């Protein structure tokens, strides 16, 4: 069995973040990021980590601030704060584990976070976006109700309860500021700044973030490739094989990217110490 150990590191706000480091003995590490109201053991992150280990790759997955076992306050927004959480994770890999970062991988909101990371920090060679959102103004009324903007304008904040991974309930205050942050975010403009290679994996049956968002990245990200999982929903649970297709796409892309860098093909961003 591949050794797995509990680790902690601190973000720029002094909050302790909890993570799991799966040590397959490799010199490079893949950092895995969860989505909205999820945790390091949500989505298919444990299965992805296991598959990476089987192929000799170490991984670090962690809880963003305010989620899971990490300190901090949960927020519907906070995208750029989560980018800084990810930057802290990347720094931990380099400075404490003394290893390189091969890729950052994120699902849903985590997909947005890894894309934003790539737009701000040009220090990882591969970004893998699994069902991240492109059109940020979409989905808010669908999630919170057609009158949510009016309610927030009147009250400033509205209490919400979301059912998260494992059936646990997360109660938090949805603020006007958090919603405005998301609605005003231009993901396509940010994505155009990415220098790394980018792989997007998206389900054709995704009703949370439509496949059109996945296809739209091609027009904005210079070095982008899309893998469509036919019939898959947002969490790739419509059929058992959908999870495996996600896992195989990630493992395969990492191997292909390593091969391209090894042969000198392309002008990829090399992992460098921050």
pLDDT digits (tens, 9 = 90+) for 112-144: 999 999 999 999 999 999 999 999 999 999 999
32 pLDDT exceeds 60? yes
User: What predicted TM-score, i.e. pTM, was given to this entire model?
Assistant: 0.94
270 pLDDT exceeds 90? no
The widest CA-to-CA distance across the chain, in whole angstroms, is: 59
> Average of pLDDT values for 264-269?
55
* Distance set, CA 42 to CA 107, 127, 146, 187, 215 (Å): 10, 19, 29, 24, 25
Tell me the domain boundaries of the chain. 4-147+185-263
CA 31 from chain center: how many Å? 9
Number of Cβ atoms within 10 Å of the Cβ of 75: 21
155 pLDDT exceeds 80? yes
Provide the percentage of residues in the chain whose pLDDT is more than 90: 89
164 pLDDT exceeds 80? no
Span 45-96, pLDDT tens digits: 999 999 999 999 999 999 999 999 999 999 999 999 999 999 999 999 999 9
> Average of pLDDT values for 235-263?
93
**CATH number for the domain whose boundaries are 4-147+185-263:** 3.40.50.1820
Q: According to the model, what pLDDT value does residue 122 have?
A: 97
Q: According to the model, what pLDDT value does residue 274 have?
A: 38
Average pLDDT, the chain: 94
């Amino acid at each position: 069995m591949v050794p797995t150990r509990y680790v902690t590191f601190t973000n720029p706000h002094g909050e302790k973040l909890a993570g799991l480091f799966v040590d397959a003995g490799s010199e490079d590490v893949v950092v895995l990021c969860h989505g909205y109201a999820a945790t390091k053991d949500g989505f298919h992150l444990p299965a992805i980590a296991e598959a990476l280990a089987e192929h000799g790759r170490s991984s670090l997955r962690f809880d963003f601030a305010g989620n899971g076992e990490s300190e901090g306050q949960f927020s519907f927004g906070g995208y750029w704060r989560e980018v800084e959480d990810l930057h802290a994770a990347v720094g931990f890999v380099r400075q404490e584990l003394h290893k390189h970062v091969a890729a950052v991988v994120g699902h849903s909101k985590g997909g947005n976070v890894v894309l934003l990371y790539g737009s701000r920090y040009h220090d990882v060679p591969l970004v893998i976006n699994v069902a991240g959102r492109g059109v940020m103004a979409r989905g808010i009324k669908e999630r919170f109700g057609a009158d949510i903007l009016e309610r927030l304008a009147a009250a400033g904040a509205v209490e919400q309860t979301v059912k998260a991974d494992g059936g646990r309930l997360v109660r938090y205050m949805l603020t006007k500021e958090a919603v405005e942050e998301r609605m005003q975010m231009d993901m396509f403009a940010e994505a155009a700044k990415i220098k790394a290679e980018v792989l997007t994996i998206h389900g054709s049956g995704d009703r949370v973030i439509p496949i059109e968002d996945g296809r739209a990245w091609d027009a904005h990200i210079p070095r982008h490739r899309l893998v469509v999982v036919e019939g898959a929903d947002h969490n790739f649970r419509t059929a058992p094989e959908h999870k495996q297709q996600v896992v195989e796409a990630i493992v395969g892309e990492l191997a292909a990217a390593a091969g391209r860098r090894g042969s000198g093909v392309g002008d990829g961003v090399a992992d460098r110490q921050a």
